[in-house]
Structure formats: C-alpha cells, structure tokens
Amino acid sequence: MNNNSFLETEPVNKLLIRYSVPLIISLLVAALYNIVDQIFIANADYLGSNGNAANNVVFPMTVIALAFTLFIGDGVCAFVSMSLGSRNIKQAGDSVGSAALLSSTTGIIIAVIYFIFRDELITFFGGRVNQQTFDFAKEYFTFIIPGIPFYVFGQAMNPVISADGSPNYVMFSTLIGAGINIILDPVFIFIFHWGMMGAAVATIIGQIFTAFMSLLYISRKMKAVKFTRENLHYNPDLMRKYLPLGLCSFLSQISLVISVAAVNLMIKKYGALDPVFSQPEYSQIPMAVIGIVMKFFQIVISIVVGLSASCTPITGFNIGAGRPDRVKKLFSLLLTCESVLGLAAFIIVEFFPVYIADLFGASGESVYYSDFTVKCFRTYLCLIILACVNKAAFIFIQAMGKPWTSAGLSMIREIIFGAGLTVLMPLFMGLDGVLWSMPASDLLTFIVSLIVIIMIYRELSRPVRYSDSL
C-alpha cells in the first residue's frame, strides 16, 4: 500500500494546510538568512547603508545558486510525486539518489566559479557604486562562497523530503539552521566586530546544519520512497525526465537575476543623475533602499511559493492517479489564498512603509533615506496582488507537468517585461521609471497569465487520465 495514497482521498483544503504551513515556515526561515544579515548590518553603525547596499549586491549570486537548487529539487519533487501516484516506487528512489549526487556536484561547481570571478560578479551587479560598498560586498561574498555547496544540497533535498510526506521535518531543520544564524549574527557583528565577514560566517554555519539534517533524512528516514545505497548513482535517463519539471523554477530565478541586475544597474546609473543621490555621501542610498524593498518582497513571495509549492506533491500524485477534478479544485483554492495574501501585503506597503524602513536602520540615516524608502515601497510594490497571483500560477502549472508553459510565463515576466521595462522606462521618467517598472511588469504579465489560467481550467474540466502519459 502506498504511504501517500491519502493524497488522492483527503479533502484538498486539509492537504493544502497540512503541506503549506511547514513549507511556508521553512521558506520564510530560509529567506531570513539574508534578511536577518541585512537587519543586523543596517543597525551596525560601522556598516550602515553601505553595508546594506553591499548585501543587496551579493543577493543575486545567492539567487543564482538557488536557481540550480530549485532546478534539481523542484523537478525531482514533482517527478517523485508522479511516480508514487502511478505506484512506481523504484523509479522514485532512483530519482532521489540521482538528484542527491547532482545537487552536491552542482554546489561545488558554483562555488569554484564564484571564487574565480568574484570581483567581476560584484562589479556586474552594481557593487562599484562607491568604494566602501565594493569592499563590503567583496568581504561578504568571499565568506559566503564556502557555504554554497551546503546551501545547494540542503535546499534541493527539502522538496524531496516534503514529497516523501515529511514537511514538518523540513520546517524543523530549516528553523534550527536559521536560529543558529540569528543567534550568531549579533555576536559576530556587535561583539566580535567581524563586520560583513561575521554576517557571512553566521549564515554558512546555519546552512551546514540544515544540509546535515537533509542528509540524515534521505539516508535513514525515507518513508514512501524506498531509498538505499543502490539508488545513489547518476541516472541520465531519469535526469532527462525530472529536470524539465524544475525548469520553470530555474528560469524564474535566473530571469529574476537578470531583472535584479537591470534594476541595480539602472539604480546606479540614474541615481548618479539625481540632484541628491549624485552627492558622494548619499550615493549608496538608492541601492540600499531597493534592497530593503526586495527583501520585504522576498518575504511575501516566500509565502506565495510556500503555498504554491505545497501543491506540487498533491497535484503530481493526483495527476498520476488520474484525478483532474481534484487538481482543478486545488488550483481554485490556491488562487483565492494568494489573492488574499496579496491584498494583505498591499495594505502593509501602502500604509506602513515607515515601520519597515526603521527595522532596516532608517532612523540612523538621513531624511533622504527615509523619504526614498517610503516612495519606493508605495510605488514599486503597488500591484503586489497581481505579482502573487502570477507567481502562484507559474508554480502550479509546473507542478501539472507543463514546464515549458510555466517557464515561458516566467521569462515573459522577468526578462521581456521585468528587465525590458526597467531599462526602457527610466529613459522617460529617470529614477522614478525604475520604480514604476515593477507594477507595469506585473500588470502586463497578469493579462498573459489570465489567458493561460482559463486554458488550464478548461483542460482540467475534461475527463483525462494523466497517468496514461507517464
């Protein structure tokens, strides 16, 4: 009897709660690694807004590593769920073993590349806004790099552990790792005065713990998936099957990096033309502020992704079992939840941006810092509701086994609209054009997403046994 057979019988609303709560907490805690670093950095008087700007410069490199992590982890999660739904237990075990080896190798390769091209990457992502920001970014990045292999492996295995029926284990291991980071950050930054190095070292210690917990689970605690040493080998045939299922996650993160790079470069370029931010003592403010706004957005998106990704094992199993009716009901519930979440986030960014700014050290900075932070929140995230719905649709469509459709939507959002409008709109609106590019991209993407959502509903209304195509 398949241990995950309840995915076909239990009400979808209960399943969504069961899987989403621990996953949301796990993703929020994972997001806290970078966010907590930035909060402590911002409130250290010897780091301040220059340290904040440096943290924002390094952030895209973390996203690149996360892209490869999700490429493997989300892909194998969806494939394992479909395999379990069609009762192919051996295939599920072999795919987990292959993914474990692939994620380990990928993390090492990324770390080596980062060491070789460290200065060039920092420059590319806007680190030359001033010399102090560059020095801080170089210090932080140098000590973050050794933790990349642990980060990639731990985060890639988390979706697999959830698909195996243990989302609470993922939550626990991630919570402990982030807790270690939160405890060590103030010790290293304020007591030892290790600066950017201290923030980085605290982060990688937490990541090592989470990776160890993931290794412990897949080697000794797997339940629905039967996993032994014999499964631990590269399997090109299975890779060709499960990697495309993670393609949307990969491309969405890579395209996000392109979008962030465009934002950082335009912020640097048009900030230098601004009457206030062209002054050396204020030149880092736009870069620091856009980083704060993105960190808040990352918190919201962590909840969005947690809700959406929690549908992956449920969706995959029911597709494998030939139950499109349950998939349709789950999709409707997901879109409703994401809309409510987006509305709550909209209220926060429009009415309480000052409180968020103060959390990131605005009270110790100039009035220009506070004013630009409020303006940036209210403009950049004014259509955050649509951003939530768009992201949820992308992930759910991927979970249905439609990676190319999902990847196409993600690339339209981040590259064509995201990066394109970020470069185009400042030509007419200056620095304000960078801020308005985000809501413009979300609106145009929603129009395209709505068409695809309607097509998905029509498809799920047809009595098709998806398992026949596995």
Phi, psi at 278, each rounded to 5°? -80, -15
Query: From start to end of 183-223, where are the E strands?
Result: none
Total of domains in the chain? 1
Per-residue buried b or exposed e for 299-331, using 16+ beta carbons within 10 Å of the residue's own CB: bbbbbbbbbbbbbbbbbbbbbbbbbbebbbbbb
Q: What is the pLDDT of residue 4?
A: 67
Q: What is the pLDDT of residue 22?
A: 81
Q: What is the pLDDT of residue 260?
A: 83
188 and 178 in contact (C-beta within 8 Å)? no
Q: How far apart are CA 232 and CA 219, in angstroms?
A: 10
Written as tens digits, the pLDDT of the chain (470 aa) is 456 678 888 898 999 988 888 878 877 876 777 678 888 888 888 888 888 888 888 988 988 998 899 899 989 988 888 888 777 888 888 999 999 999 999 999 999 999 999 999 999 988 888 899 999 999 999 999 999 999 999 989 988 888 787 888 988 888 888 889 989 999 999 999 999 999 999 999 999 999 999 999 998 888 878 777 788 888 899 999 899 888 777 877 787 788 888 998 999 899 999 999 999 888 888 988 898 898 889 889 889 988 998 888 888 888 878 888 899 999 999 999 999 999 999 999 999 988 887 877 766 778 888 889 999 999 999 999 999 999 999 889 888 878 788 888 888 988 899 889 999 999 999 999 999 999 999 999 999 999 999 999 998 887 654 444 33
Tokens found for residue 136: 């801080």
In a domain, 470, yes or no: no
In a domain, 2, yes or no: no
205 and 154 in contact (C-beta within 8 Å)? no
Angle between helices 247-271 and 48-85 (to 10 degrees): 160
Tokens found for residue 158: 């988390």
One-letter amino acid at 385 equals I
Angle CA(57)–CA(61)–CA(67) in degrees, nearest 5? Answer: 140
Establish how many alpha carbons lie within 13 A of residue 399's alpha carbon, considering only the half-sphere containing its beta carbon. 29
Helix (H) / strand (E) element for 198: namely: helix 195-220
One-letter amino acid at 407 equals A
Q: What is the pLDDT of residue 469?
A: 39
In a domain, 469, yes or no: no
In a domain, 122, yes or no: yes
46: containing domain: 11-464
Q: Determine the distance from the C-alpha atom of residue 106 to the mean position of all C-alpha atoms in its chain, rounded to a whole number.
A: 18
In a domain, 1, yes or no: no
Q: What is the pLDDT of residue 151?
A: 93
Taking phi first (over 0 means left), then psi (-120 to 50 degrees means alpha), and beta for anything else, what does residue 307 get?
alpha
430 and 402 in contact (C-beta within 8 Å)? no
Q: What is the pLDDT of residue 88?
A: 82
Tokens found for residue 224: 């629905």
Q: What is the pLDDT of residue 1?
A: 42
Q: What is the pTM of this model?
A: 0.76
Count the neighbouring beta carbons within 10 Å of the beta carbon of residue 351. 10
In a domain, 316, yes or no: yes
Q: What is the pLDDT of residue 175?
A: 86
Angle CA(369)–CA(372)–CA(378) in degrees, nearest 5? Answer: 140
Number of residues written out for the chain: 470
In a domain, 23, yes or no: yes
DSSP 59: H
Q: How far apart are CA 239 and CA 350, in angstroms?
A: 45
Tokens found for residue 450: 């709505």
Tokens found for residue 125: 């992502």
Q: What is the pLDDT of residue 77?
A: 87
In a domain, 301, yes or no: yes
Phi, psi at 252, each rounded to 5°? -65, -35
Q: How far apart are CA 442 and CA 410, in angstroms?
A: 11
- Spatial neighbors of 42 by CB under 8 A, at least 6 apart, are 48, 49, 51, 52, 288, 360, 361
Tokens found for residue 127: 């680190």
Of 147, 269, 270, 164, the closest CA to residue 209 belongs to 147
Count the neighbouring beta carbons within 10 Å of the beta carbon of residue 451. 10
Q: How far apart are CA 5 and CA 263, in angstroms?
A: 46
Q: What is the pLDDT of residue 35?
A: 78
